[in-house]
Amino acid sequence: MFRTLALRNANRGIFKGVQMGPPDPILGLTVAYNKDTYENKVNLGTGSYRDNDGKPFVLPCVRDAETKICGNMNHEYAPIGGDATFCKAAATLLFGDNCSAAKEGRLASFQTISGTGGLSVGAHFLNRFAYEEGREREIYVPNPTWGNHGPIFKDANIKPSTYTYYNPETCGLNLEKMLEDLKAMPKGSIVLLHACAHNPTGVDPTQEQWKQISDVCKEMEHYPFFDSAYQGFASGCPETDAFAVRYFIEEGHRMIVTQSFAKNMGLYGNRVGALHIICDSAEEKEKIESQAKIIIRAMYSNPPIHGARLVTEILKSEELTTQWRKDVKVMADRIISMRKALTEELKALGSTRNWDHIENQIGMFCFTGLTPEQVKVVVEKYHVYMTSNGRISVAGVTPANVKHVALAMHEVTK
């Protein structure tokens, strides 16, 4: 008894050295917004789609799929790598019906806990198998990139370094410097690329620019790691948004691709995604599958089933797939229309600043070009909440608040 008490007392201080971690900047913004009592406050921080009334949107195809599967499913464990039917359907959506890697049995696909889970599994796989002995474990990510990319790779003991991507002077792509940086990297580097709707800037390469990026990656023998989180949500056309990924495969790149269904099917809380690895051969695919499953088994054992069943139900049905294409275009078109409305309101207020980048950028997010000092005023005086780097979620702009958002942006930039 006395020995047990002694052990308990000895262990009481085991976590006394733990320091308070920094708050998540996006979640912290939401907390501040929720505390604000101002009637006309606007939240442009969160990355979730909202309809014209600022309400969450459940896609009609998802409601129909839920009705179809309701009462017909068990609650058994999924396999470690996820449901095979889901994996095949997800891969076909992303890579198309004529993907050479799939036809040749060189495509390894795994169901993951959304795109974040796919990135994490991919990062740990790279850490174990992608680096030669003595070579620094490093991945090059665009500057800027999604705020969670860095922590995910650091957690897998991979150092995230940056390459030039965004040009703050034009609020567009700095292609020349990007290509220079790709050429300056050590040969055979791993390079993270956003497939479409770059987060946080909304700046995407054109198809011709993607071809130049592919050429340099081939020349330097770089290994691409694509993050595809917005297929269909960016332009309203899934094929257009998959151009970069499909082109790189056609050009013979071996690569990793992560895929998320959070945005394009509105399945945020269901955590549905996939990880795809383009292999050299069917034999290599089997080896990679075996090792990736070992990582998954230790990390979360197997993925959740409900969201994957919804995606599978939608993609296996011609009727529901057609409805999904309509639904995702509705979301994309609303974002595009709000970009136009915001630009027009700024011009109507007499702003002499060039706001063309708002319409030129694509997807959920927009880099407004506002400075941290200007953002501070926008938040504190006008109660329009955005991240300190000037990024806004265009999904938060509605016909009811666009004038107020434009006024706030105009007042701090005139």
**Given the DSSP bridges, would you call strands 138-143 and 159-164 parallel, antiparallel or unpaired?**
parallel
Query: Would you say 171 and 367 are in contact if contact means Cβ atoms under 8 Å apart?
Result: yes
Token digits of residue 223: 């290994």
Phi-psi region of 119 (alpha: psi -120 to 50; beta: other; left: phi over 0): alpha
In sequence order, which residues have a C-beta less than 8 Å from that of residue 95 and are 6 or more positions away? 101, 102, 107, 242, 245, 246, 249, 276
The sheet with strand 272-278 has its strands ordered as 107-113, 272-278, 256-260, 223-228, 190-194, 138-143, 159-164
CA dihedral for 89, 275, 270, 308, sign (positive or negative): positive
Instruction: Please tell me the distance from the alpha carbon of residue 188 to that of residue 113, in angstroms, as a whole number.
Output: 29
**CA 68 from chain center: how many Å?**
29
83 among known catalytic residues: no
- 3-state secondary structure (DSSP) of residue 113: strand
C-beta of residue 156 within 8 angstroms of C-beta of residue 131: no
Burial of 40 (0-12, 13-18, 19+ CB in 10 A): exposed
Tell me if residue 88 is catalytic: no
Name 1's bridge partners.
none
What is the spatial distance between Cα 220 and Cα 407, in angstroms, rounded to a whole number? 47
Of the residues 83, 181, 204, 227, only one is catalytic, namely: 227
Active-site choice (210, 241, 263, 355) = 263
Contacts of 332 (CB under 8 A, 6+ apart): 232, 233, 234, 235, 236
Distance CA 69, CA 289 (A): 29
Catalytic residue among 83, 146, 241, 327: 146
263 part of the active site: yes
CA 327, CA 139: separation in Å to the nearest integer? 35
Active site residues: 146, 227, 263
